[in-house]
């Protein structure tokens, strides 16, 4: 471990071990960056769960809610595809991570994929 003096007389530590650990973490992040396909699978799973909850809900959402409930009961996958068609999905490759933004008419969701995992904010009203 080396030390050096700063201009104001303080001591700064430089650790070769810390630099090596940082480099290993960066390489690991690049190698384990999740794919957009894994994001799509996670989003579809989340949408299926939300559709299932909506189907079990006793809330009355008017005629559109009733139509959605009947249509989604008959074919959940078609319902998920319809919901997905209403979303705008933007993706950016950030070298060590992947950023995805999902926009709907009313909401925005931001996700960061790193180390084979996705970390997302909840849907935020736009």
Do 26 and 58 lie in one domain? The reply is no
Do 37 and 95 lie in one domain? The reply is yes
pLDDT in tens, 52-111: 887 777 665 666 567 677 778 888 888 889 889 989 999 999 999 999 999 988 889 999
Do 45 and 21 lie in one domain? The reply is no
Do 53 and 24 lie in one domain? The reply is no
Task: Tell me the three state secondary structure of residue 123.
Answer: coil
Asked if pLDDT for residue 125 goes beyond 80, the answer is no
State the first-to-last Cα distance of the chain, in angstroms, to the nearest integer: 50
Nearest Cα to Cα of residue 100 among 121, 79, 124, 125: 121
Do 22 and 73 lie in one domain? The reply is no
Task: Tell me the three state secondary structure of residue 2.
Answer: strand
Count the Cβ atoms, other than its own, within 10 Å of residue 118: 16
Q: Are 39 and 118 in contact (CB under 8 A)?
A: yes
Does residue 116 come out as left (phi exceeding 0), alpha (psi in the -120 to 50 range) or beta? left
Do 70 and 103 lie in one domain? The reply is yes
pLDDT of residue 119: 94
Domain range for residue 110? 33-125
Do 39 and 2 lie in one domain? The reply is no
Per 3-state DSSP, the chain is made up of helix, strand and coil in percentages (nearest 5) of 50, 25, 25
pLDDT of residue 95: 92
Q: How many domains does the chain have?
A: 2
Do 7 and 58 lie in one domain? The reply is no
Task: Tell me the three state secondary structure of residue 15.
Answer: coil
Do 82 and 112 lie in one domain? The reply is yes
Phi, psi at residue 110, to the nearest 5°? Answer: -115, 130
Do 55 and 79 lie in one domain? The reply is yes
């Amino acid at each position: 471990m080396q030390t050096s003096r700063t201009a104001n007389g303080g001591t700064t530590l430089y650790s070769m071990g810390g630099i090596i650990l940082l480099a290993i973490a960066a390489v690991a992040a690049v190698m384990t960056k999740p794919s957009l396909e894994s994001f799509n699978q996670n989003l579809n799973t989340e949408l299926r769960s939300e559709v299932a909850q909506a189907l079990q809900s006793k809330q009355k959402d008017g005629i559109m809610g009733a139509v959605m409930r009947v249509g989604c009961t008959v074919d959940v996958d078609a319902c998920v595809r319809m919901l997905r068609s209403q979303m705008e999905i933007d993706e950016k490759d950030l070298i060590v991570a992947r950023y995805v933004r999902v926009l709907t008419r009313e909401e925005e969701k931001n996700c960061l994929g790193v180390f084979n995992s996705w970390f997302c904010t909840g849907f935020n009203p736009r």
